[in-house]
Amino acid sequence: MSSSSRSHRLLALVVMLVTLVSLSACGGGGSGGADYQVADLATGEPVTAADLRGQPALLVSWATWCRECDEELAGLQEFANSEASNGLRIVAVNLDAADVEDEIQAKIDRHRLTVELWRDRRNEFKRTFGALGVPTTVLLDAEGNVAGTFPGAVDFDDRDVLAAIEKVRD
């Protein structure tokens, strides 16, 4: 491999790493997804992140094809049933683009989800919150600003997650 080719590959790698670091850094605070608009899963009516203002919120993206999402949804519902979730609005946001309503309902039933359920067929979640994959958990403060972003399945007993939640409650 030529020196020029190695330089180009190294430059591409550096650009990719800087981009990833920038995307993950944007989840640590700042303005959020006030313009994020999707549909209520049950009614099909429009809902927005701005509707959540006035109370901290936890948004968790998931899809029927995502194996890690099963773990996430089980943990999310367990968290929602615990005292640790007091004062939070919890929303599970389905990202399936396809017409897979039966599979969506099967997951809701399997995990006995009682949290708010939204549907985002165009995956605006990724664009709005800089999510790199599914599942991704986004914590919003009472003003709707992103206070934390947690990629992958989240352990809702994790010290960092609980500390971030406590911070938005204060």
pLDDT at 32: 64
Give backbone dihedrals phi and psi of 158, rounded to 5 degrees, phi first. Answer: -65, 135
In the numeric block, the tokens 């919120």 are attached to 57
- Check if the beta carbon of residue 85 is closer than 8 Å to that of residue 59: no
- Cβ neighbourhood burial of 46 (10 Å; 0-12, 13-18, 19+): exposed
pLDDT at 110: 96
pLDDT at 33: 75
- Check if the beta carbon of residue 37 is closer than 8 Å to that of residue 129: no
- Check if the beta carbon of residue 81 is closer than 8 Å to that of residue 112: no
Query: How far is C-alpha 95 from the geometric centre of its chain's CA atoms?
Result: 10
List all residues 6 or more positions away from 104 whose beta carbon is below 8 Å from its beta carbon.
41, 64, 94, 96, 119
Helix (H, G, I), strand (E, B) or coil at 20: helix
Rounded mean pLDDT for each run of 10 residues along the chain, 170 residues in total: 45 32 38 83 96 96 96 96 95 97 97 97 95 96 94 94 92
In the numeric block, the tokens 């992140």 are attached to 49
Q: Where are the domains of the chain?
A: 29-169
pTM for the predicted model, two decimal places:
0.81
pLDDT at 34: 74
Give backbone dihedrals phi and psi of 130, rounded to 5 degrees, phi first. Answer: 70, 25
Give the number of C-alpha atoms closer than 13 A to the C-alpha of residue 120, restricted to the C-beta side.
26
CATH architecture of 29-169: 3-Layer(aba) Sandwich (3.40)
DSSP-assigned letter for residue 49 = G
pLDDT digits (tens, 9 = 90+) for 90-121: 999 999 999 999 999 999 999 999 999 999 99
pLDDT at 35: 86
pLDDT at 108: 97
